[in-house]
Amino acid sequence: MLKKYRPITPGTRQLVLPMNEKLTRANDHSKATVKPEKSLLSPKKRTNGRNNNGHITCRHKGGGHKRHYRLVDFKRDKENIPAVVNSIEYDPNRSAYVALLHYADGEKRYIIAPEGLKKGDKVQTSDQAPFRTGNCMRMMSMPLGSIIHSIELVPGKGAKLVRSAGLSAQLMARSGGYVTVRMPSGEVRMFNEKCRATFGTVSNSEYNLRVEGKAGRKRWKGIRPTVRGTAMNPVDHPHGGGEGKHKGNIPQTPWAQCTRGLRTRSLKKSNKFIVKDRRKK
C-alpha cells in the first residue's frame, strides 16, 4: 500500500512512498522493523562508478547512505530440508524484499521474498514439494502454466533472472529436455529443464509507483544528478549548443553512439534459445 504525503514542505508535495506493511515488526506495538541477521551481513564497499584507475566508467553514481550487503541464497540448494519463514525484511541493495529462513538443521539463509509469503510459512527446495508460493524446484517437475520467479540460466549456478520487485514469468511448455518460459518483457525463451525456479511473484509490486519527491532522496540512494545533453555546450555533448531548444539531433550518447533503437546485444550471446523476441508483437 502506498502513502501520499500532505504537502507540509516542498519535499513532501509530490512524495509517494510504500508503507512497507508486509515487513515484520520488532513487536506488536512498534513501527520499527526487525534488525537484519548479523551472520548474513557483509561489508559493501562503494566504487562510486570508478574503475581501478579512478576513471568514471558509470556516470551518476556516488555518495549515499552506508549499506550492508545481505547474503541472499540464489542457489536454493538445501534439498528436502524444510524451513520456516522467520521474517520479511527490507534490503537496501534491491527493489524486492528478502525473507529470512530458519532451516530444520539450524542454518539461516535469506531468499528473495515472493508476494504473499509471511512469517511462519513453511518453504522447501524439493522436486516433491507442494506447488506453493516460495517453494523451489526444477522446472521439469513444475506444472505447465505455473507463475515463477528467480530462474536459473545454468543448472546449479543460481537464479539470475526475474528477481526485481513485482516481476513474474510463466511456464509455457516442456519438450526435449527444455522448457519454454514467457518472460516479463514478453520474450519467450527456452531453458534447460533442470534449471530451478521458485513459485510465485516477486514481492513489493508497488515499488515502481513510488515518487521520491525531492533531489535529496535520490542522493541518499547514491544517485548523482543527470544533466540533459541539450543543456550542454557543443564540446560536451552531440546535442549541445544551438540557439533554440533543440537542433533536430538523432538521439545520441555523449560519445556519439546512436540510442533509442540501436541494437547493442553482444554477438557472443546465443540466440538459439529465444523463441520470440520481446520487440516483435
Domains of the chain by start residue, with CATH: 2-209 (2.40.50.140)
**28 has pLDDT over 80:** no
- How large is the average pLDDT for residues 240-264? 87
pLDDT of residue 279: 83
| Closest among 150, 135, 148 to 82, alpha carbons compared | 135
For residues 125-162, b (16+ Cβ closer than 10 Å) or e, as one string? bbeebeeebbbbbbbeebeeebebbbbbeeeeeebebb
**42 has pLDDT over 70:** yes
pLDDT of residue 281: 61
Which grid coordinates belong to 127?
522436486
Distance from C-alpha of 249 to C-alpha of 147, rounded to nearest angstrom: 43
**Tens of pLDDT, residues 145-203:** 999 999 999 999 999 999 999 999 999 999 999 999 999 999 999 999 999 999 999 99
First to last CA, the chain: 33
pLDDT of residue 103: 96
- How large is the average pLDDT for residues 7-14? 94
> Using the 8-state DSSP alphabet, how is residue 150 labeled?
S
Greater pLDDT, 281 or 140 = 140
**Tens of pLDDT, residues 54-72:** 999 999 999 999 999 999 9
**Tens of pLDDT, residues 93-139:** 999 999 999 999 999 999 999 999 999 999 999 999 999 999 999 99
| Closest among 41, 38, 57 to 49, alpha carbons compared | 57
Task: Supply φ then ψ for residue 217, to 5 degrees.
Answer: -65, -35
